[in-house]
Structures are given as C-alpha cells and as structure tokens.
Amino acid sequence: MDLLNTLVDKGLRRELPTREEALAVLATSDDDLLDVVTAAGKVRRHWFGRRVKLNYLVNLKSGLCPEDCSYCSQRLGSKADILKYTWLKPDEASQAAAAGLAGGAKRVCLVASGRGPTDRDVDRVSETIKAIKEQNEDVEVCACLGLLSDGQAERLRAAGADAYNHNLNTSESTYGDITTTHTYADRVDTVRKAHAAGLSACSGLIAGMGESDEDLVDVVFSLRELDPDSVPVNFLIPFEGTPLAKEWNLTPQRCLRILAMVRFVCPDVEVRIAGGREVHLRSLQPLALHLANSIFLGDYLTSEGQAGKADLEMIADAGFEVEGAGEVTLPAHRADVAHGCGSHAEAGCGSHAEGGCGSHAGGGVCGTAGGPAVAEPRTDLVAVRRRGAGTDLAPNA
C-alpha cells in the first residue's frame, strides 16, 4: 500500500505526515489492519527497538474533584462508586510506589484529583518525591496534579520531579463539549509551563468520547506541536455514574488504528498505552505493543487493570522486553538534550522546524472505512479499584 510505505519513510525521517495521510490511517479497513500494524511497527522498532517501558500510577488523592470533565469518575457530581480519600502521606505514597517498582516499573506517576495544586500541595508532593527517590535512586517520577500556577513547575523540578503530565484529551474545537470548568488553552499553558521548567512533558489524549476522525487527528497534531516526550493514549472507560457511561464506541481494531496514527505523527516519542487497554483492546493487546513502547503496569487511578504478572507475561510472549532502569527511553537525538529522563529535544517529536507534535480514557466514530460499527458494551470489564493506594490491601503490580 503506497500510503503505508510513504508513512514509514516519513516516520524514519521524523517528517510530519499530512492530515490527509493521518485520516487515511483511521479510515483503513479491517482487512488492511495487519498491514497498518506492520508499517507502524517498523517505525516503532526503528526508534525504540523491542523495549517496553513500564509505568506505575499512585493515586495520591482520589475523588471529590471540583472539575466537571465528563469522562472522569472523580468529577464533580460523579455517581461512580470509586474510592474516595484525601492526600496520602509521603511514606504511604512511597510504599505504594515500591510495589510497582518491584514489578519492573521505571517511572512512578503521582496523580491527585483537583483543578490544580495549592502551594501547600506542591510542598506535600515535593516531600513525596523526595521520599520515593531516597528509596529508589534511579526511579523517574512524573507528577500529574492539574493546572499549574507560575513557579510551581520549577518547585517540582527542584524537588526531583523528572516529568509532568497534563493531557489535552481531545481537539480544541470539541473541548467545551466534555469540560466547562476550564479550557483547552488552560491545558496547553500547563504543558508549556512544564517544558519551560525543564520537566519532561507528558501529554496525550482520550479516544472514545464521541469524537470524529478529524478530532483525533487535530489533537494528535496539536500534541506534536507542543512536543511532549511521552504521549499517553487513553481509551475511555465508561464508568457508570458519569455522563459518558453509555459511550461504547471502540473496537479493538479501531484502537489499533488510533495507536498507529499516533505513532506515524509522533514517531520518535514515547507512545504509551494508558487507561482502557484491557477494556477495549482485550485479546489484541499484544498487537498494540508493536505500536506503543510504553504501558502502565497493573491498576489505574480508580479502575483495576490487568494483573501485573499478566502484563509481564504478555510482553515476553509477544517477543518484547521490559526496559531496564539503566536504559534511556528516548532516541539519542532527543535524550542528548534532555534533563534526567529526557525533556524535549531540539527536533521535537518530529521537529517544530518541520511544522509539527493518567487518567481515564475513550471512543469515537468507530469501525471500518465502510461505515461505523457499534461496539458491544463490556461493562463486565470495568472494575472499580478496591486495593492499593487508599486501602489496606496489597496493590495489583
């Protein structure tokens, strides 16, 4: 297929595809799916080999969020029966992180619900970062605390944070349809604050919220322009008790096409399969490893994921290997100009000069080029987290 040959060539050169080419990937048929995976897999292996980076989430503060993000089980007015608790103490968070690190994770993602941190919250998270790093010298720590005020990113960096996550989630034109308590511009501003402070920026999307192919391409092109080092791709987990509980639009094939499109647009960036992979990719999860080079290990913020042991077996069975603590995730042209775990490089996830690039996840207009397919709801796969952080039970790591 000429399209795929062109996209592979562009990916190996870190050249931005056209919007039409990105849309064409999403419009490919199921008959062509393995060809799409093979092509995007060549780009993935060129930049990242067969390594899979493991990340581990620690939910520092769960529920009771004042924001109204429609996809989130922690949102204002959520009826989802999730765990609700206030801030974990630094030693509690460090203990929770240790379970993931023992399972092979090299990055710990510290997440807290809310609009954004107060200065006191930044102090609290800074103490937590120091506690984790005292016990695990080589660990990468990423904070995800919402919208940042001036100076907060610098304080987190000084405390030892390596990265900051703040997802764009969807296209600018549809952002107001999923959230009204803050704007798309607010999110862009926070990613830029993280970059400016020398933190490795982590920003991604949620697929499955009713968006169009055009929306998906819009948000991924916007991400390329922002130039994060890692792009988490979430697939909506339709929690009962949230406005998007009935959005079951994704098929495993659709998810693979989305991941392939992200890889072609951001070829040399850490593409992470995030929330919802078990719910929507299901038995095709191993194929997704040919597209993404990073996953979350075990459970998510408020939902249960695949058992950590099963994740490790899946990676080995698919012919991949877990990335070691001493290995550098990013390609040399990005990592060489990065701080610590690698902040943004001069060329970007394709280069600004060339024009271009935790959560709960999404869907959209799904199916093949012949028309949308309606996915069967798999509510049996949506399990609320009842263990790990905020409980007395051992985590799934």
In the chain, % of residues over pLDDT 90: 70
Active-site residue, 202 included? yes
Active-site residue, 272 included? yes
A 10 A CB-CB count for 313 gives: 12
Residue 255 has pLDDT above 90, yes or no: yes
CATH number at residue 42: 3.20.20.70
Considering the domain boundaries, does residue 246 fall inside one? yes
In tens, the pLDDT along 173-209 reads 999 998 999 999 999 999 999 999 999 999 999 999 9
Q: What is the pLDDT of residue 374?
A: 60
Considering the domain boundaries, does residue 397 fall inside one? no
Q: How many domains is the chain partitioned into structurally?
A: 1
The pTM assigned to this predicted structure is 0.89
The single residue of 14, 75, 107, 272 carrying the catalytic annotation is 272
The single residue of 14, 44, 109, 124 carrying the catalytic annotation is 109
In tens, the pLDDT along 32-55 reads 999 999 999 999 999 999 999 999
Considering the domain boundaries, does residue 389 fall inside one? no
Active-site residue, 266 included? no
Active-site residue, 109 included? yes
Considering the domain boundaries, does residue 158 fall inside one? yes
Considering the domain boundaries, does residue 392 fall inside one? no
Residue 345 has pLDDT above 60, yes or no: no
Give the residue numbers spanning the domain of 142: 2-381
Considering the domain boundaries, does residue 387 fall inside one? no
The single residue of 142, 144, 357, 366 carrying the catalytic annotation is 142
pLDDT level of residue 337 (50, 70, 90 thresholds)? low
The single residue of 72, 266, 357, 366 carrying the catalytic annotation is 72
Active-site residue, 366 included? no
Q: What is the pLDDT of residue 371?
A: 43
pLDDT level of residue 83 (50, 70, 90 thresholds)? confident
Q: What is the pLDDT of residue 288?
A: 98
Arithmetic mean of pLDDT over the chain: 88
The single residue of 14, 44, 65, 75 carrying the catalytic annotation is 65
A 10 A CB-CB count for 50 gives: 15
Active-site residue, 357 included? no
Residue 21 has pLDDT above 80, yes or no: yes
